A and B are shown apart, each in its own frame.
Chain A
């Protein structure tokens, strides 16, 4: 088990290097191959009044005249030993792990990522609990009462949940529950948990519900399909035949087996969300990693894009690892090694 985890972690590090190299190449090499000069790259970091001399100065400062591998090497070096950035009257030291430095906001990327993570974490954890509980429960009940009014209503509801995009449900939710009924917080009112847990809960309630609405719909459908298949298996008949109560048959044998594929997708979904729930964070103006990523892309702030991409990749890799480990717990047939 320990060997397996170490091997997977080593593979994760290699994978992160590959992701970083590919991302770096997309943002720094591809434009050069398409004909962009160091000066045209530098124009993204200067104002509209910049003279050619200023553009050239900034291209030098940002190292755009260096070969791409030198630029990449410098970036990698920053992760391990940190880097210094001249700010005119002062020098800003970006300590390791220095995941780059934004020349638009003049801030190191890593502290930004660390600062934004709790917001995304709060959103992802809260919403995932909601969708897991409601999605799986609705799916299980629907499967057990197949064809009933409850089943049809739940599946109709989940179809709507899957179909409606978050930027629509989010805006409607804000309009109805925040601005009209005043039941939930307005957009942009996130309060950190450490500052005020009640306000934190209040500010995230609607984003949780909106995000969970879409996911719980998928989970309800998946659970229902899984349960229907499992409940028709021979071992379920055997369990009933040996006199187990129906509740034990359903939960211990039926639901547990149906949960294995759901666990896989749950891990991936949470991993992806930790990399940034872009739409939800944008609609509700939550200062998380998703909003950070979209703002960075809008502003052509490449060091930030690179940093957030790596963090998202990290979470997906780790979530996959955790899911693989949990397989062994949920399904005794799986053995790791």
Chain B
């Protein structure tokens, strides 16, 4: 009897363990929640299929070409996600699922930056013993050189421009190639081999975000070949380049000089990464579904051709994740174009918007996004949920309020204006048409004006004189954060000082001096909580002026790799985290 009971207890325990494993709920060695149950959004906030098994090859494909593999110039989120395999920046986003990924952790540096001089000076201590693929040790001077070379915009015109904007560089400095020998210690100094100090022109409380940019990945000066460096980047991470056939494919193999003891963030499980470039986008989806490919490296989700098939098949849908991205598709409402110079007319536009139409135009709740009522997406720290222009219980607009606002504006029967969109973007055309229909309900007549996307901001919608001359009252727009922080998201979107009369800025409608001041105050704040609260306040202040119609917080439907382990969505990158993946 006792034996029977023991067998029963043991059996129950085994069953319980098996069920726990099957249904998830365990934590991995980093304290992240894990799951093995293949279901919709399984990898959104948990680590799917956890494992520490080493070996194997991860196969990735890119529908286009890589912008560049050079850490000093690459400017795509997926590239920054991937680059951590072969390069180590001073600071990085934590490889963790969901919101945990927004936390900054030290990478090449021993700790996050130490501010002094009210946030104008930032000091980092570099880990000792970190080596390049050739076995030489990474020194602070290499990081300094890497940052300085990235400021040469004649050689690297496509990269981010934050460092040259904030560093206290000498007058006339043109980067280390043309200004060779010029003393740059007033911008970056290296008191010893393991200390680097950044000197800024103005205080910047969130400098750690800048230190996580790939431009701080060390570059040994002796191996730098300028614009050709992308052909053979010298690795400081766990993987190094094996082959690199530009425009076709490249592969990574293990860096024998990478030392795991200097690197608490990387698992380095697979032996190899193979990346194919310029692969047909629809073919990528088919291969992901069949398991012939592991990852669509660009991470923007399935193509329209496969969407219906994936969503309509429960088994396939269970193999997908649907993250909300730090990207807002919105409409600028230009107060420089009459009668939208009257705030009540702008409010009328916001009240009359059919939000569900906007969402449908962008692809619906799965492939398009969630209806937004604020500028900041939920992924950005500081996000506050509010809705200043409620659209009724069905989100189709509050026509009574819209008409009331029109009356206050002196246009009780509505008015006519033009709306710009990018001709090559069907979703923007559909959005403009949806707005045309919804605003017509209160007498606002929209004439749609398509413009070529190549010059959309430089010559048309982002060119203030053109906007006024052509009466572009509304224009479709979109913005994604360079990093998940209020500065990274808002600075180019709501700061009136980025507007250039010659064109080129995506901000054409927000010209609020008070907001500029609020931005300046937030930028210098070194307390992250206080700073984040200020971003939320800026968001609300801009919305009070009714110069932006938030459309949707973008989402993507991503096919989860069939054959990989440790799969999870990094909210920081809005796609799968490429640092922790392993092969099952």
Contacts and interface: CB of A to CB of B under 8 A. Distances in A.
**Does B bind A?**
yes
Interface of A: 35-36, 39-40, 43-55, 57-58, 61, 87-90, 92, 105-107, 112, 171, 174-175, 179-180, 186-188, 282-285, 287, 291-292, 295, 298-300
Nearest to B276: A188
B279 A188 contact: yes
Dominant secondary structure at the B interface: loop
Of the listed residues B161, B226, B227, the one surrounded by the most CB atoms of chain A closer than 10 A to its CB is B227
A283 B455 CA distance: 29
A185 to B, nearest CB: 10
Nearest to B503: A40
Interface string B125-166: 000000000000000000000000100111111111110000
Contacts of A36: 455, 459
Nearest to A106: B227
B424 to A, nearest CB: 10
A295 B278 contact: yes
Nearest to B180: A89
- Per CB-CB distance, the 8 closest pairs between chain A and chain B, nearest first, are A88-B226, A88-B155, A89-B226, A47-B158, A87-B227, A87-B226, A187-B283, A46-B157
Given A285-B278, A295-B278, A188 B226 contact: no
A282 B280 contact: yes
A99 B182 CA distance: 37
A87 B225 contact: yes
Contact of A187 (B159, B161, B162, B280): B280
B457 to A, nearest CB: 9
Contacts of A90: 225-226, 228
Contact of B500 (A43, A52, A285, A287): A52
A92 B216 CA distance: 26
A49 B149 CA distance: 16
B175 A88 contact: yes
B229 interface: yes
B65 A285 contact: no
B246 A188 contact: no
Contact of A51 (B158, B161, B229, B246): B161
B103 interface: no
Contact of A58 (B154, B161, B286): B154
A283 B279 CA distance: 8
Contact of B247 (A92, A284, A287, A300): A287
Interface in B270-310: 276, 278-280, 282-283, 286-287, 289-290, 292
Interface string B159-180: 1111000000000000101000
A188 B287 CA distance: 10
Contacts of A43: 454-455, 458, 504
B5 to A, nearest CB: 52
B120 interface: no
B162 to A, nearest CB: 8
Given A186-B292, A282-B280, A300-B454, A105 B247 contact: yes
